[in-house]
Amino acid sequence: MEKELAFFDKIRTVTPYTPGEQPKNQNVIKLNTNENPYPPSPKVQKVLEAFEAGVLRKYPDPLCTELIDALSKEYGVSKDRIFVGVGSDDVLAMSFLTFFNSKKPIVFPDITYSFYDVWADVFRIPYEMIPLKDDFTINTEAFVNTDCGGVVIPNPNAPTGVILETSAIEEIIKAHQDSVVIIDEAYVDFGGRSVLPLIDKYENLLVVQTFSKSRSLAGSRIGFAFGSEKLIKYLSDVKFSFNSYTMDSITQKIGAAALSDKEYFTETTKKIVKTREYFKKEVSKLGFTFPDSMSNFVFIHHDQYNAKDLFAALKENNIFVRYFDKPRINDYLRVTIGTKEDMDKILAFLSEYTK
């Protein structure tokens, strides 16, 4: 342990988020961070090839005009209701800082994206976790009836992949019109339904999405949010009080190019959904169970095999999945959906392991 410093009491200390491992060895089957197994659209490659380094002499456009225009066109939302950030992690962090400034605790599920409590801690936001039901579904009633300073719910939830119906989300938004409700839709393109249309009805709703999963751009770091003009204005004010130039010039162009290729987006997300359904069917034949996932990962459990041991055995064989050593989920593994070939390899391993 590091020796405590004389000025320790003046330091903002926090236990950081632990991201999934990015192994140096390229010869692994990487199913641990919910990345897309397919490359980004060929239009992204073209942007990179045509990009002139001279552009980097100047600061990037702080308003990300080209990207916001592309998002506005693609999603049919006016530009003043769109915010972009360096990955949805950035969008969410800025949103926590902007919207959760009350003494009342914010609420989120007990089993969820493990960055939420880290942001709450670092920004000194009080929070409470509302337990998921035993089947890992969100307890809508508990979310409706809580007295809180804000709400965050991922839909589909992570690491479970379970979706919450639009009607239930609307009930929660309606019940908390005096606070901001953030719906984190990082995985919505794999079969969920976005609550984006509800931003016309509720000023307190912020819908957050990302290019990291369904648009194969985790490495570029592009996230975005839709909300009422007022919410977006407050969010932008906080962002511009930190750093005006967060998204670089190349990334802004790459994002716009990816959005322009709807065909590729539809084709690759469809392939992932098809592979996910195949994986669900095959893995259940081996005795694994899982909550029904509508995302690009499946949260598997086996009554006879310890998840931590299986995680280690998989890793030993160069197959990386994600294990969370946390109450209620420490006997599950989150397996990202890769290519059909990737899934056949992990299935072959699991079949041997469970023989």
Contacts to ligand PMP by CB under 6 A: 87-89, 113, 154, 158, 184, 186, 210, 212, 218, 223
The residue (of 36 and 204) whose beta carbon lies closer to ligand PMP is 36
Measured from the CB atom, the residue of 127 and 305 that comes closer to ligand PMP is 127
Give least dist CB 154 to ligand PMP, A.
4
Q: Which is nearer to ligand PMP, 113 or 265 (CB)?
A: 113
How far is the C-alpha of 31 from the C-alpha of 296, rounded, in Å? 10
Distance CA 205, CA 198 (A): 8
Q: How far apart are CA 64 and CA 218, in angstroms?
A: 18
Nearest residue by C-beta to ligand PMP? Answer: 87
User: Three-class SS string for 64-130?
Assistant: CHHHHHHHHHHHCCCHHHEEEECHHHHHHHHHHHHHCCCCCCEEEECCCCCCHHHHHHHCCCCEEEE
Q: What would the two tokens of residue 86 be?
A: 């360096």
Q: Rounded to the nearest whole angstrom, what is the least distance from the CB of residue 50 to ligand PMP in the complex? A: 25
Which H/E stretch holds residue 29?
A: strand 29-30
We find the least distance from the C-beta atom of residue 211 to ligand PMP, in angstroms, to be 7
Question: Which CB, 77 or 86, lies closer to ligand PMP?
Answer: 86
Structure token digits, residue 8 = 């320790």
Report in angstroms how near the CB of residue 212 gets to ligand PMP at its nearest. Answer: 3
C-alpha closest to that of 85 among 74, 96, 73: 96
CB 156 within 8 A of CB 169: no
Tell me the closest approach of the beta carbon of residue 98 to ligand PMP, in angstroms: 17
At its nearest, how many Å lie between ligand PMP and the CB of residue 189? Answer: 12
Query: Which residue's CB is nearer to ligand PMP, number 34 or number 305?
Result: 34
For residue 348, the SS3 value is helix
Measured CA to CA, the distance from residue 151 to residue 139 in angstroms comes to 13
Q: Smaller CB distance to ligand PMP: residue 140 or 336?
A: 336
> Which C-beta is closer to ligand PMP: that of 92 or that of 350?
92
Provide the minimum distance between the beta carbon of 89 and ligand PMP in the complex, in angstroms, as a whole number: 3
For the CA atoms of 300, 305, 306, 312, what is the dihedral angle to 10 degrees?
-80
